[in-house]
Amino acid sequence: MDTYKIARLFDFEGNIISIEPYGDGHINDTYLVSTDGKTSYILQRLNTKIFKNYQGLMDNIQKVSAFLSDIITKEGGDVTRECLTLIPTKDNKHYVVVNDDCWRAYIFVPDTIVYQIIDTPAIFENTGEAFGKFIARLDSFDASTLCEVIPDFHNTVDRYQKFLTAVEENKSGRRDNVKEEIEFVKKRKDFMSLIVNALNNKEIPLRVTHNDTKLNNVLIDKTSGKAICIIDLDTIMPGSLLYDFGDSIRFGCNTALEDEPDLSKVNFDIELYKSYCTGFLRGIGDKITQKEINMLHIGSIMMTLECGTRFLTDYLDGDLYFKTKYPEHNLVRCHTQFKLVECMEKASNEMIKIAKNCKI
């Protein structure tokens, strides 16, 4: 595929100088397009095997980024740095389909860093504030105008069923290698329905949420250390705030990388939990309910268990979903997540106390 040919379909300023693979996502193919003009661009090929309804997905992103851009303008912010800006194609569409691949482009936000691992609690607190603010800003967005990009994305009851199917089918022939891991999930079957039940019983509200709030989906300003721009809006759809909070904790409170093979390095950092909680609750302000605050620790454990179960499911299926760099990659990722689940389960009482004390 000729990325230059694709890039020329978009309404970029200046002449293209280079196009290089960029970033470290598990799903899409991302390229940095440098030009001789003032602006560089991000060009992305969407993974249409995963995002089958890419039209719906791109419409979601257009609506949400326009909505956020209005709010940021009203607040006197810089829209080119504080939210994603889609670049239209030369025939004024917000994406283009070439040979069944869907491509889109954004303004590249310069002088920012994405972290794969946190080194400063203050940065994590800023990240929490940005994600909290993100949900608060979308509070008045009409959720019924969004399509459900991946149905049942965080439906952990459904994830459990899919896991059982993968165990049953054993497509990869790897089932006997992972007996303990399978038992680990089965033991937690009842736990996996807690948030789904709370949503169904309307104990907690359904909101417009990001649904993929890991640390490398937020751009941090190099100079100020502030989390300025939330990216990767592919999974924006109705969900629970507990999913967004929990996924950030899953990724950010890990003392090691998501795919660290040495499990002695993988631990849950409770001080970082406190930092994120403080920032998140400040960012979301009065938009959070008491019941949600009481369940923040459950969100954290749930998202970690869900992610580990997804890695295990994909391992059993033969690595069909996540990009992998070596044959056991999904299993290594599964192990880090399950180790974190155990650590969080042990730290639950402390996590509950922290959330209570953070909210003034």
Instruction: Note the residues at the interface with ligand GN1 (CB under 6 A).
Output: 25-27, 50, 212, 214, 217, 232, 234-235, 258, 307
For the CB of residue 212, give the shortest distance to ligand GN1 in the complex, in Å: 5
Identify which of residues 287 and 310 has a Cβ nearer to ligand GN1 in the complex: 310
For ligand ADP, the closer of residues 16 and 277 by Cβ is 16
User: Minimal CB distance to ligand GN1: which residue?
Assistant: 26
From the list ligand ADP, Mg ion, ligand GN1, none, partner contacted by residue 269 (C-beta under 5 to 8 A by kind): none
Residue among 252 and 283 whose Cβ is closer to ligand GN1:
252
307 binds, among Mg ion, ligand GN1, ligand ADP, none (CB under 5 to 8 A by kind): ligand GN1
Q: Beta strand pairing status for 207-209 and 101-107?
A: unpaired
Based on CB atoms, which residue is closest to ligand ADP, 116 or 140?
A: 116
Residue 235 binding result from ligand GN1, ligand ADP, Mg ion, none, given CB thresholds of 5 to 8 Å by partner type = ligand GN1
Element (H, E) at 253: none
Closest to 64 measured CA to CA, from 180, 216, 211? 211
Instruction: Please give the order of strands across the beta sheet that includes 29-35.
Output: 16-21, 29-35, 41-45, 101-107, 96-98
Q: Output 291-295 pairs: Cβ under 8 A, ≥24 positions apart.
A: 291/198, 291/203, 291/204, 292/204, 292/205, 292/240, 292/241, 292/242, 293/355, 293/356, 293/359, 294/352, 294/355, 295/194, 295/195, 295/198, 295/204, 295/242
Our CB check for ligand ADP shows the closer of 230 and 355 to be 230
The single residue among 3, 9, 19, 22 that binds ligand ADP, judged by CB under 6 A, is: 22
Least separation in angstroms between residue 257's CB and Mg ion is 15
The 220-249 site mask, x for binding ligand ADP (CB under 6 A), equals -----------xx-x---------------
| Residue 232 sits in the site that holds Mg ion (CB under 5 A) | yes
Residue from the set 3, 19, 30, 69 that interacts with ligand ADP by CB under 6 A: 30
Please report, as residue ranges, which positions from 247 to 306 form the binding site for ligand ADP (by CB under 6 A).
none
User: What residue type is assigned to position 187 of the chain?
Assistant: K
Per-residue CA distances from 56 to 62, 209, 236, 240, 285 (Å):
10, 16, 11, 20, 31
| Closest distance to ligand ADP from the beta carbon of 325 (Å) | 14
Kindly give, in sequence order, each residue whose CB lies less than 8 Å from that of residue 183, ignoring residues fewer than 6 positions away: none
Residues ≥6 apart with Cβ < 8 Å to 270: 253, 347, 350, 351, 354
Given 40, 213, 217, 275, the residue binding Mg ion (CB under 5 A):
217
Q: Which one, 227 or 354, has the nearer CB to ligand ADP? A: 227
Do residues 204 and 295 lie in contact, with contact meaning Cβ atoms separated by under 8 Å? Answer: yes
Query: Are 209 and 240 contacting, i.e. CB atoms less than 8 angstroms apart?
Result: yes
CB half-sphere exposure, 16, CA atoms < 13 A:
19
Pick from 25, 128, 283, 299: which binds Mg ion (CB under 5 A)? 25
- The interface with ligand ADP within residues 113-132 (CB under 6 A) comprises 114
Name the minimum Å distance from CB 37 to ligand GN1. 29
Q: Would you tell me how many other CB atoms lie within 10 Å of the CB of residue 323? A: 13
Does residue 306 interact with Mg ion by CB under 5 A? no
252 is an interface residue for Mg ion by CB under 5 A? no
Q: How far apart are CA 139 and CA 287, in angstroms?
A: 8
Beta strand pairing status for 227-230 and 218-221? Answer: antiparallel
> Smaller CB distance to Mg ion: residue 112 or 217?
217
Classify 89 as helix, strand or coil. Answer: strand
Q: List contacts with ligand ADP (CB under 6 A).
A: 22-25, 27-28, 30, 42, 84, 106, 108-109, 114, 216-217, 219, 231-232, 234
